[in-house]
Structure 1
Amino acid sequence: MNFPNRKRLILQTVDERGSIEVKELADLLQTSEITVRRDLGILANDGLIYRTHGGAMKVSLANNPVQFVNKTAVNAENKDHICRLAAQDIQEGDTIFMDCGSTVFRLCQFIRNKRIQVITNSLPVVNELLQSEVTINLVGGEVDAKRQAVHGLIAHEHVARYRANKAFLGVDGVSAQNGLTAHSETEAGMTLAMAGQADSVYLLCDSTKLEQDRYFQFAPLRLVQVLITDPKADPKVLEMYRKQGILVRN
């Protein structure tokens, strides 16, 4: 495949998925990783993509603070696995909450063609879904520039006005003993607000966060009905969660 055709496929894939790893592109293009890295360097120099460690990212995402870009790119393959499973449970006509977590953000690429309503406090989610079939309801309130998200009292009041079929949420840590934990009360508050207004609560959490306790403990594990994680999760840990009544998928 010549460079113009590889360029077209690379840009199309990055646009659809938000980000992609070199190995995935090499498999898609049926070429070597060395060739892919060279192509990505050319496209990055032209300002068409943002070069990440191990892959590439959509320029519009890279314009967000570095912290969010880095979090989105970490464990990308596992996060995409989680989000593919989550998308299978989203039906046409659903109303869903999506918080500002980096894993939850990667759900966007799998729901773009669904006629659903998304209520979110995440600015990257809004940006990613603007040109899609999804109807967007952006939570109002104070913008946290670091998180690229809306938080605060008014944001909680906004969420309280709506009901959703499902809430797709992320946390900084989860454990069988201490439940859900976060790095700050701000993030925990929005998680609780969305969970309280949803018929079903889905926790999208890669295996690195399982049995990890963070600064602020804010809810028991029973707040969640479904935990979706990746294949690397310890089966013994997952069994502990199942014994607490959680539906676990990986």
Structure 2
Amino acid sequence: MNFQNRKQLIVQTVDERGSVDVRELAELLQTSEMTVRRDLVQLAASGLLYRTRGGAMKVSLATDQFRFANKTAVNADRKDYICQLAAQDVQEGDILFMDCGSTVFRLCPFIRNKRITVITNSLPVVAELMSSDVTVNLVGGEVDKERQAVHGLMAEEHIARYRANRAFIGVDGISLQHGLSANSEKEASTATAMARQTEKVYLLCDSSKLETDKYLYFAPLSLFDVLITDTEAKPDVVAAYRKAGIRLIN
């Protein structure tokens, strides 16, 4: 495949997914990772995408990388599918932790008619559930305006005062070799604080994040009990995770 054809497919894939890593593109294009990296450099120089550590993302997301609305819109169908599966485990009377992940946010429409309590550091989750049957407990602390979430020491102390039946958390990357990784220390510390205070931890993770390593490694795979992903997950990856003893639902 020549550069022009690779260019068209790379730009199309980045536009559809929001972000993609070198390994995924190499498999898609049936070429080497070195060739993909060289292509990404040229495309970034032309302003067609933004280079990231290990891949690329849409320019519109890169210019405001952490704006919540943008993250929520990436792979929206996959996220909704994941959240429909997750909502099936939520029982009347449950107490839930929900972190500020963009996938976790999309759980709201599927639980809003349940008489449950949600403890969250996410302002969008609070706004979405305020007019629902759900009792909302907003974690206190310093507000991250771009992320629309509450983080910091006070937030972690708030979380430590409560116990929950289930925690729903997101992640930026997960791999069998390295465990869970994130783009931010703030979000990583919130996720681990919630995991410590709950009976069962659900990791909501769209398939594009499987076998992906991000900036900060923050927890082993043992942090969560259930991994929920979508039907786009590669069969060999799903098989490897299950062989490793992970309960994976898709």
Shared fold, TM over 0.5: yes
Separation in 2 of the partners of 1:232 and 1:212?
15
Summarize the Cα distance change of 1:80–1:141 in structure 2 as closer, same or farther, 3 Å threshold. same
Structure 2 residue 239 is the aligned partner of structure 1 residue 239:
yes
Please state whether the residue corresponding to 1:92 is helix, strand or coil: coil
Contact 2:175 2:212 in 1 (8 A): yes
* Structure 2: 5+ residue stretches without partners: 1-64
Could you tell me which residue of structure 2 aligns to residue 102 of structure 1? 102
Could you tell me which residue of structure 1 aligns to residue 67 of structure 2? 67
**What's the % identity of the aligned pairs?**
69
1:49-198 correspondence to structure 2 within 5 Å: 67-198=67-198
Post-superposition offset of 1:235: 1.6
Please state whether the residue corresponding to 1:137 is helix, strand or coil: strand
Post-superposition offset of 1:75: 0.9
Post-superposition offset of 1:242: 1.6
Structure 2 residue 238 is the aligned partner of structure 1 residue 228:
no
Structure 2 residue 202 is the aligned partner of structure 1 residue 202:
yes
Structure 2: which amino acid aligns with 1:217?
Y
Structure 2: which amino acid aligns with 1:163?
R
Structure 2: which amino acid aligns with 1:152?
G
Please state whether the residue corresponding to 2:238 is helix, strand or coil: helix
Post-superposition offset of 1:66: 7.7
Separation in 2 of the partners of 1:212 and 1:148?
25
Q: Deviations over 1:147-202 (max 9, x none)?
A: 10000000000000000000000011000110000012111100100001010000
Contact 2:120 2:139 in 1 (8 A): yes
After TM superposition, the score normalised by the length of structure 1 is 0.73
Separation in 1 of the partners of 2:162 and 2:66?
32
Q: Deviations over 1:183-228 (max 9, x none)?
A: 1211110010000101000000001111000010011111111000
Summarize the Cα distance change of 1:123–1:205 in structure 2 as closer, same or farther, 3 Å threshold. same
Contact 1:222 1:245 in 2 (8 A): no
Runs of 4+ aligned residues of structure 1 deviating over 2 Å after TM superposition are none
Separation in 2 of the partners of 1:115 and 1:235?
37
Contact 2:103 2:204 in 1 (8 A): yes
After TM superposition, the score normalised by the length of structure 2 is 0.73
- Kindly report the root-mean-square deviation, in angstroms, between the aligned alpha carbons of the 2 structures: 1.1
Separation in 2 of the partners of 1:239 and 1:149?
35
Separation in 2 of the partners of 1:164 and 1:237?
31
Please state whether the residue corresponding to 1:166 is helix, strand or coil: strand
1:27-38 correspondence to structure 2 within 5 Å: none
Separation in 1 of the partners of 2:184 and 2:123?
19
Post-superposition offset of 1:245: 2.1
Please state whether the residue corresponding to 2:67 is helix, strand or coil: helix
Separation in 2 of the partners of 1:159 and 1:66?
23
Contact 2:66 2:147 in 1 (8 A): no
Q: Deviations over 1:95-115 (max 9, x none)?
A: 000000000000000001000
The count of residues paired between Structure 1 and Structure 2 equals 186
